[in-house]
Amino acid sequence: MASRKTDKYSVLLPTYNERENLPLIVWLLVKSFTQSGYNYEIIVIDDGSPDGTLEIAKELQKLYGNDKIVLRPRATKLGLGTAYVHGIKHATGNFVIIMDADLSHHPKFIPQFIKKQKELKCDIVSGTRYIGTGGVYGWDFKRKLISRSANFLAQFLLRPGASDLTGSFRLYKKDVLQKIIDSCVSKGYVFQMEILVRANQFGFTLGEVPITFVDRVYGESKLGGSEIVQYAKGLLYLFATT
Partner 1 sequence: MATKLVQWLTGLSLFFSVWASIVFDLVPVSFDQRIYQVVLPLPIYLVIAFGCYALAVVGYRTATFNDCVEAAEELKEEIMQAKADLKKKGLKMS
The CB-of-137 to partner 1 minimum distance in angstroms stands at 4
Q: What is the per-residue binding string for partner 1 in 40-79, x denoting contact by CB under 8 A?
A: ----------------x--xx--x----------------
Least separation in angstroms between residue 236's CB and partner 1 is 9
Distance CA 205, CA 117 (A): 10
Neighbours of 89 (CB within 10 A): 10
Q: How many CB atoms lie under 10 A from the CB of residue 202?
A: 12
- The residue among 165 and 238 lying less far from partner 1, judged by its C-beta, is 238
Is position 223 an interface residue for partner 1 (rule: CB under 8 A)? no
Identity of the residue, 4 or 202, whose beta carbon is nearer to partner 1 in the bound complex? 202
Strand residue runs (E) in the chain: 8-15, 39-46, 69-71, 95-98, 124-128, 135-137, 170-173, 206-210, 212-214
Rounded least distance, CB 155 to partner 1, Å: 10
Provide the residue type at 39 as one letter.
Answer: N
Residue ranges in 75-224 assigned as alpha helix (H): 80-90, 110-120, 141-158, 174-183, 188-202
Return residues touching partner 1 (CB under 8 A). Answer: 23-24, 27-28, 56, 59-60, 63, 103, 106, 130, 133-139, 141, 144-145, 147-149, 152, 156-159, 201, 212-214, 217, 238-242
